[in-house]
Amino acid sequence: MPRLAANFSLMFQEVDMLDRFEIAARIGFTGVEIQNPYEQTRDEVAAAYEANGLTAVLFNTPAAVGALPGREADFEAAVARALEYCESAGCRQIHCMAGIAEGSAAEATFVANLRRAVPAAESAGVRLLLEPLNTQDMPGYFLHQTSQARAIIDKVGSDTVRLQYDLYHMQIMEGALSETIKANLDIISHIQIAGVPGRHEPDAAQEIQYPFIFEWLDGLGYDRWVACEYRPRSGTLAGLEWARPLGIDPTA
C-alpha cells in the first residue's frame, strides 16, 4: 500500500494553510508536501507539522530558475531558502524547478547549478529532485521527459540528485507509466499522482488505472511517498472516497 501524502498547494483550499494540517492528520494522512510554504514563516510551518504529527515530505524551490543562464545566483539563493525551511520542518526533499528555457546552454546551466548545490544538500541530508512537466500545462518548461531528467541526473553524478516522477505529467507526455517507473526505479525518490484528464482525483473517472499502479509499485518494492497533487473537483473531503482503501477516512 502506498504511503500517501497530501499536497497542500492544491488540496484543502477550503481553509487557510495552517489549518490544513489538523484536517489532514485527522483523516489519516501522515505526510504533507507543500509547493510554496514561503508565505508562512519557517517556524510556523515547522510548528504545524510537529503539532499534528505529520512528516514534511517535499518543498519546491521558491524560484523556477535552475536552467536559466545568468540566473545562477538566484538558483543558489532559492536552494538556500528551501534548505532553511527543510531544516526547520525536518523535510528531506526539495524539488529544484528548472524554469522556462531550452537548448544545450540551459542543460549545462542546470547541471552546473545542481553540482554546486549538492554539498549543502548532502550536509543537510536533503535530496534535490528533478520533475519533468508536461508541455500543455507548462509551455516552454525546460524539463519535460523522463529520459531528459535521467540524462541530467547522470551528468550531475550524485546520489543526492534524484527523479520526482509525476504520473499526471508523464501520462500526457509519454504513457507507458508502469514500465517507465520500473526502468527508472533506481533514481525515483518521489511520486506524485493525479487523474488524466483534468488533474483531478485519481479515481475511476479518468484514464490512469491507479489500483493497478499501486499494486505495481508494491510489487517493485517502492516504499517512498506517493503524493496527491491534484485539484479536487468539488471539495477535498468530498473527493477522497477513492483513498479510503488506502487508509484515508474523509468522514473522520
Q: Where are the domains of the chain?
A: 3-246
Which of 239, 139, 146, 238 is CA-nearest to residue 187? 146
Q: Give the pLDDT of the chain (252 residues) as one tens digit per residue.
A: 899 999 999 999 999 999 999 999 999 999 999 999 999 999 999 999 999 999 999 999 999 999 999 999 999 999 999 999 999 999 999 999 999 999 999 999 999 999 999 999 999 999 999 999 999 999 999 999 999 999 999 999 999 999 999 999 999 999 999 999 999 999 999 999 999 999 999 999 999 999 999 999 999 999 999 999 999 999 999 999 999 999 999 999
> Whole-angstrom Cα distance, residue 110 to residue 138?
18
Q: How far is CA 251 from CA 71, 136, 174, 240, 245, in A?
A: 47, 35, 36, 9, 13
Tell me the catalytic residues: 131, 229
Q: Which fold has domain 3-246?
A: TIM Barrel (3.20.20)
